[in-house]
Amino acid sequence: MSGRIVRITGPVIEADGMRGGRMYEVVRAGNAALIGEIIGLSEETATIQVYEDTTGIAPGEPVERTGASLSVELGPGLLGTVYDGIQRPLEVIRDEFGDFIIRGASLPALDRERRHEFTPQAEIGGAAAPGTLIGTVPEGRFTHAVLVPPGTDGTFLRVSPPGNYTVEEEVACVRTAGGEDLIVSMLQRWPVRTARPIREKMAPSEPLITGQRVIDSFFPMTKGGAAAVPGPFGAGKTVVQHQLAKWSDADIIVYVGCGERGNELADVLRQFPALDDPRTGEPLMGRTVLIGNTSNMPVAAREASVYTGITIAEYYRDMGYDVALMADSTSRWAEALREISGRLEEMPGEHGYPAYLASRLAEFYERAGRVRVLGPTEKTGSVSVIGAVSPPGGDFSEPVTQNTLRIVKVFWALDADLAHERHFPAINWLQSYSLYLDAVRGWWEEHGGPEWDRARKDMMSVLQKESELEEIVNLVGSDVLPEEDKLALLVAGIIRESFLIQYAFDPVDTYCPPQKQYLMMRLIHDYADAGRAAVGRGASSAQVGALPVTGRLSRLGSVPTTEFPTFFGELERRMEEEFGTLGGGRP
Amino acid sequence: MTSPAREYTSVTRVAGPLMAVSGVGDAAYGEVVEVRLPDGERRMGQVLESRLDLAIVQVFGGTRDLDTEVTSVRFTGEPLRMAVSPEILGRVFDGTGVPADGGGAVIPEEVRDISGASINPTARDYPQDCIETGISAIDGMNTLVRGQKLPIFSGAGLPHSRLAAQIARQARVLGDSEEFAIVFGAMGITSEESRFFMGEFEETGALEHAVIFANLADDPAIERIVTPQCALAAAEYLAFSRGMHVLVILQDITAYCEALREVSAAREEVPARRGYPGYMYTDLASIFERAGRIKGKKGSITQLPIISMPDDDITHPVPDLTGYITEGQIVLSRDLHRKSVYPPIDVLPSLSRLMAGGIGKGKTRDDHGPVSDQLYAAYARGRRLESLVAVIGEEGFTPIDRLYLDFAARFEREFIGQNEKEGRTIAESLDLAWQLLSSFPDEELKRIDPTLIAAHVRRGAR
């Protein structure tokens, strides 16, 4: 099972004597036993991408085949852990090897010593189909379901009694129809490039609430949906991704920092343990798995990192959880593909990216979805994917953005001009879209209120009107506009400043629950309606703007959530009073 | 890499900065070679690709006068390393880390592999010590913190060197007198620019705290490929072995990238944008990500790379990829320079991503964040209106619009503009901001909490 290195060029090496090697099989390359993966075969010769720095490797050194595909370890203990792109536990590596990552450092992803409290749920002699519950293990505040892994099918010959077990110890034994006895432990391995099997995909129906107004109210995401956040540097992609990781109402978050900054990961590690989930009051870190392959870590491991992340997400989905995966940034992943493709001297497609870029992107995003999971009991779970895209020069016509947009249903376009004005989140409301509006309308009308759709459409049309008027204003100034148009500009300003801008660093405004979002929309919508009526009665837009209530509409987001209903009632009353004084009194 | 040295005379091909040595079976990737020319001159090189019977070597110092007959190549069995000790402070090296000031070789306390290793992300300490640079546009609106990498995006003829020197001269951390050092990596800059920095360092006494790596415009371009690594190896030693706070100035990253492109083209690699190699993002990241702090260690590395944007184009691959790696950017503007504003920092596209963690109550002042946001919003609006003046004339503006126009002009002159020798404290910068903002009625200051306005705006001269 071993070959010999014949060529080294950066992260790509070639080895001969590799007959029998399979595509995507993992190998250990060189005397330092660096982890690599076969990405091309030609008779005896295998092309291998290496997940670690190849400096110092020379031709003639051995290559050992492992017979396995690049896989992740799945089991209790994943939550709260920080891994690199090929699931090496970074905190353990630091304890063991120091502050800098040295090569060949290889440690198991799941702690082999730690014992987990297992409670059996399966009956000896009962059917053991893939997805059948064997038992449960508490993992933080979650119930970690130990399931019969895909590919194992038969009846339970043994089920272990309640007790504390390590991940490698037997928890059940399954006798297959063929009479084979398979030992099942809590530790499962799954090849990262293969989607875990499901019963069927379902249409998304419930919004993924993120507490971000422009997202939830204007361009909603669903549980099981796929979204893209493209934007030039400095437009706030990472802050948006962090906000979603912190506040979205998925059960479990998998955050993949793919080719991004080390300090950003340090920031997540600093903040998440200190922040509480607004719904459960538990530390956010307890529901999060972090995959951090920063830009200076090996490029091939960056390519693997998104697959590692989504496989872990699918594993928790199979227990019936709603999982959200953030990938920051898919462009770095695409560039890793390009870099490897270049080293393979493949014929390049657009912008030097390999011709298979589009199909790889599609494959990845297709692993998102709301699904009926395997197993005898009817259960659904979901994986939502939110990918950041970093288009060169902020130009959305480049291949990664365009190929992503062909797949995802939600597009949050980040805008450099908005970011320059410190309008955050800098999501451009004219360019962005969500194709899930019909899917979530029912939810919002039930949980927000009946006016949701009307208020939302009214606000959108005011913003649209503003952009049309801006062209005229830029030519002739705002003085010549009719009063109703001036009012539209006034209202659009309020929507932008009070509703769309949301302060991620303000302790109250950082998370805006749906009910508060709805009441804020109502306030602005009612204000706009009352304003239009007043102008219809002969009032001027300047008079509307001068009402004290106009000023009260600014910084709505900072009003504490618990006080908001009272605040809302008071402001509605004020509005009625103050508008009553305009344009010749009440109609 | 511990294989012994081997010597070959089998150079078979020389092209651009590269040569192919045949019959070499065991050259390690990244191994250093010593090339001896027919006339006895020695040059250094590094293995870029190794096969069973061939090694491709990039020759620092260029391939001029190499031949395929007499030239001999010694494979040293070592990666590129640098000797470091406290005595590197005050020394000048060439672009490959060889002493260039006439002094002797450094007696090593440590020998460091110049390419370094990645900091384990879980070992990083999140940077949050604000550095006061004395420059309002930076301190007030794009605050620099220790351990950050904040590039200056500039263009030909803009005063980026003066700005970098001013920052190096004035930078200090509030209430702190710890040991600091400057590492200056020059890549492809003119001897005049280099002299300017040396003069600056000498004048302010900073030279004895400085380590200089100089690859000037007329030095071999290919040597630039290792200059940043040498500079950062020295910086890592000073920061993490000696506990010093190190400011690394790298000028000019664009020249570095061009050298990278030269090697890539000579290897006939598939180019990405504008002929630059597809791995340039990874390559730049391996430089910039060496900034930072480590938990439990005293020192820090703060990087201030200078990038000249060809044709002032911020979407050019070099500034573009840089912006995606660094924690913000300071962008210089030709328009402001023409208006004689020094430093000509265009704050709108400028950004410090680590600002939020370094400012605020207990660090700088509680009004710092909101004031900065308000300055941005107001200046952006003023600039937008300015572009309309020519079309609709001042009469077309509302009185409020005119306030914004006046604000933008005063902001550029009084807040951004300052003297090259003038250092303003953060409090001074913020007070100045309040003075400018006080020309607006309170309702216009939508980004600032009313209680803060009440506390501060009255202090400014209305």
Rounded-to-integer distance, Cα B359 and Cα A236, Å: 19
Would strands B152-154 and B300-308 be described as parallel, antiparallel, or unpaired?
parallel
Whether the bond into A329 is cis, omega within 30 of 0: yes
Per DSSP, what are the bridge partners of residue B56?
Answer: B20, B49
Residues of chain A in contact with residue B118, where contact means CB-CB under 8 angstroms, are 100-101, 262, 294, 296-297
DSSP B190: -
CA torsion angle for A488, A493, A499, A503 (degrees, to 10)? 170
For testing the chain B interface, which of A44, A53, A293, A422 should be mutated: the one with the most B CBs within 10 Å?
A: A422
Write down the ipTM of this complex: 0.86
Nearest CA in chain A to B350: A420
Give the pLDDT score at A484: 92
Check whether B171 has a pLDDT greater than 90.
Answer: no
| CB-based contact B31 A56, cutoff 8 Å | yes
Rounded-to-integer distance, Cα B223 and Cα B325, Å: 23
| CB-based contact A55 B1, cutoff 8 Å | yes
Rounded-to-integer distance, Cα A446 and Cα A452, Å: 9
Count of Cβ atoms closer than 10 Å to residue B185 Cβ? 31
Give the pLDDT score at A587: 43
Residue linked to tokens 């006068």: B65
Residues of chain A in contact with residue B79, where contact means CB-CB under 8 angstroms, are 55-56
Helix (H) or strand (E) holding A65: strand A62-69
Rounded-to-integer distance, Cα A552 and Cα A547, Å: 9
Give the pLDDT score at A340: 84
Rounded-to-integer distance, Cα A55 and Cα A8, Å: 9
**Amino acid present at A24:** Y
| CB-based contact A296 B25, cutoff 8 Å | no
| CB-based contact A263 B354, cutoff 8 Å | yes
| CB-based contact A497 B446, cutoff 8 Å | yes
Nearest CB among B270, B286, B396 relative to A296 is that of B286
| CB-based contact B118 A101, cutoff 8 Å | yes
| CB-based contact A234 B351, cutoff 8 Å | yes
- Cα of B395 to nearest chain A Cα, Å: 9
Residue whose C-alpha is closest to residue A90's, from B354, B118, B283:
B118
DSSP-based three-state secondary structure for A397:
coil
Tens-place pLDDT, residues B76-126: 988 899 999 999 999 999 999 999 988 899 999 999 999 888 999 999 999
DSSP B443: G
CA distances from A318 to A120, A172, A371, A374, B139 (A): 18, 19, 9, 7, 50
CB-CB contact of A136 with A165 (8 Å): no
Task: Outline where A407-451 has alpha helix (H).
Answer: 416-420, 437-447
DSSP-based three-state secondary structure for A300:
helix
DSSP A297: S
Residues of chain B in contact with residue A476, where contact means CB-CB under 8 angstroms, are 392, 396
Residues of chain A in contact with residue B361, where contact means CB-CB under 8 angstroms, are none
Nearest CB among B29, B285, B314 relative to A295 is that of B285
Residue linked to tokens 């590692």: A308
Task: Outline where B267-398 has alpha helix (H).
Answer: 280-288, 317-325, 334-338, 355-358, 368-392
Nearest CA in chain A to B276: A352
* B178 CB-near residues (< 8 Å, 6+ apart): B244, B245, B298
Using H for helix, E for strand and C for coil, what is the string for A183-199?
Answer: EEECCEEEECCCCCCCC
Would strands B245-251 and B180-189 be described as parallel, antiparallel, or unpaired?
parallel
Give the pLDDT score at B457: 66
Burial of A278 (0-12, 13-18, 19+ CB in 10 A): middle
Residue whose C-alpha is closest to residue B343's, from B353, B330, B355:
B330
Run means of pLDDT, 10 residues per run, chain A, 587 residues: 89 92 91 90 92 89 92 96 93 93 85 96 95 96 96 95 96 94 96 95 94 96 96 88 93 92 89 84 91 88 93 97 94 89 84 91 96 94 96 89 95 93 93 95 94 95 95 81 94 95 91 95 96 94 92 89 95 94 66
DSSP A393: G
Nearest CB among B49, B282, B323 relative to A234 is that of B323
| CB-based contact B279 A10, cutoff 8 Å | yes
Nearest CA in chain A to B442: A551
Give the pLDDT score at A541: 92
- Cα of A451 to nearest chain B Cα, Å: 28
Which tokens is B246 given?
């190190």
Rounded-to-integer distance, Cα B186 and Cα B189, Å: 6
| CB-based contact B323 A58, cutoff 8 Å | no
| CB-based contact A10 B325, cutoff 8 Å | no
Nearest CB among B3, B121, B320 relative to A262 is that of B121
Rounded-to-integer distance, Cα B72 and Cα B70, Å: 6
Residues of chain B in contact with residue A295, where contact means CB-CB under 8 angstroms, are 281-282, 285, 289, 325
| CB-based contact A263 B292, cutoff 8 Å | yes
Residue whose C-alpha is closest to residue A214's, from A465, A415, A449:
A415
| CB-based contact A233 B324, cutoff 8 Å | yes
Residue whose C-alpha is closest to residue A306's, from A73, A107, A89, A86:
A86
**What's the mean pLDDT when you consider all of chain B?**
91
Least confident of A227-236, B71-80, B167-176, B300-309: B167-176
For testing the chain A interface, which of B110, B122, B232 should be mutated: the one with the most A CBs within 10 Å?
A: B122
| CB-based contact A421 B315, cutoff 8 Å | no
Residues of chain A in contact with residue B323, where contact means CB-CB under 8 angstroms, are 232-234
Nearest CB among B50, B117, B446 relative to A101 is that of B117
Nearest CA in chain A to B279: A339
Rounded-to-integer distance, Cα A546 and Cα B340, Å: 40
Residue whose C-alpha is closest to residue A211's, from A420, A539, A517, A536:
A517
Would strands A226-230 and A410-411 be described as parallel, antiparallel, or unpaired?
parallel
Which tokens is A525 given?
């919508």
* pLDDT band of B459, cuts 50, 70, 90: low
Nearest CA in chain B to A93: B120
**HSE (side-chain half, CA atoms, 13 Å) at B138:** 30
Rounded-to-integer distance, Cα A164 and Cα A116, Å: 5
**Amino acid present at A557:** G
| CB-based contact A295 B124, cutoff 8 Å | no
Rounded-to-integer distance, Cα B257 and Cα B318, Å: 7
Rounded-to-integer distance, Cα B33 and Cα A164, Å: 57
Check whether B462 has a pLDDT greater than 70.
Answer: no
pTM to 2 decimals? 0.91
| CB-based contact A94 B27, cutoff 8 Å | no
* A67 CB-near residues (< 8 Å, 6+ apart): A1, A25
* pLDDT band of B229, cuts 50, 70, 90: very high
Residues of chain B in contact with residue A296, where contact means CB-CB under 8 angstroms, are 118, 282, 285-286, 289-290
Number of inter-chain CB pairs under 8 A, A vs B: 223
Would strands B11-15 and B345-352 be described as parallel, antiparallel, or unpaired?
unpaired
Rounded-to-integer distance, Cα A252 and Cα B448, Å: 36
- Cα of B191 to nearest chain A Cα, Å: 32
Which tokens is A529 given?
């309606």
Rounded-to-integer distance, Cα A159 and Cα B175, Å: 64
Give the pLDDT score at B461: 44
| CB-based contact A479 B147, cutoff 8 Å | no
Per DSSP, what are the bridge partners of residue A327?
Answer: A256, A387
Count of Cβ atoms closer than 10 Å to residue B299 Cβ? 24
Tens-place pLDDT, residues B259-278: 999 988 988 888 888 899 98
Residues of chain A in contact with residue B29, where contact means CB-CB under 8 angstroms, are 8-10, 54-58
DSSP-based three-state secondary structure for B44:
strand
| CB-based contact A269 B271, cutoff 8 Å | no
* B395 CB-near residues (< 8 Å, 6+ apart): none
- Cα of B79 to nearest chain A Cα, Å: 7
Rounded-to-integer distance, Cα B222 and Cα B224, Å: 5
CB-CB contact of B319 with B308 (8 Å): no
Rounded-to-integer distance, Cα B351 and Cα B153, Å: 11
Give the pLDDT score at A82: 94
Which tokens is A147 given?
């399931």
For testing the chain A interface, which of B264, B268, B270 should be mutated: the one with the most A CBs within 10 Å?
A: B270
Residues of chain B in contact with residue A348, where contact means CB-CB under 8 angstroms, are 270
| CB-based contact B273 A554, cutoff 8 Å | no
Calculate ∠ Cα A469-A473-A478, nearest 5°: 105
CB-CB contact of B73 with B98 (8 Å): no
Nearest CA in chain A to B273: A351
Rounded-to-integer distance, Cα A178 and Cα A64, Å: 33
Tens-place pLDDT, residues B27-54: 999 999 999 998 999 999 999 999 999 9
B59: left (phi over 0), alpha (psi -120 to 50) or beta: beta
Residues of chain A in contact with residue B354, where contact means CB-CB under 8 angstroms, are 263
Burial of A43 (0-12, 13-18, 19+ CB in 10 A): exposed
Would strands A2-9 and B42-51 be described as parallel, antiparallel, or unpaired?
antiparallel
Nearest CB among B126, B278, B349 relative to A267 is that of B126
A347 phi, psi to nearest 5 deg: -65, 120
Which tokens is B29 given?
């990737």
Residues of chain B in contact with residue A478, where contact means CB-CB under 8 angstroms, are 396, 398
Tens-place pLDDT, residues A125-176: 999 999 999 999 999 999 999 999 999 999 999 999 999 999 999 999 999 9
- Cα of A274 to nearest chain B Cα, Å: 14
Residues of chain B in contact with residue A558, where contact means CB-CB under 8 angstroms, are 449
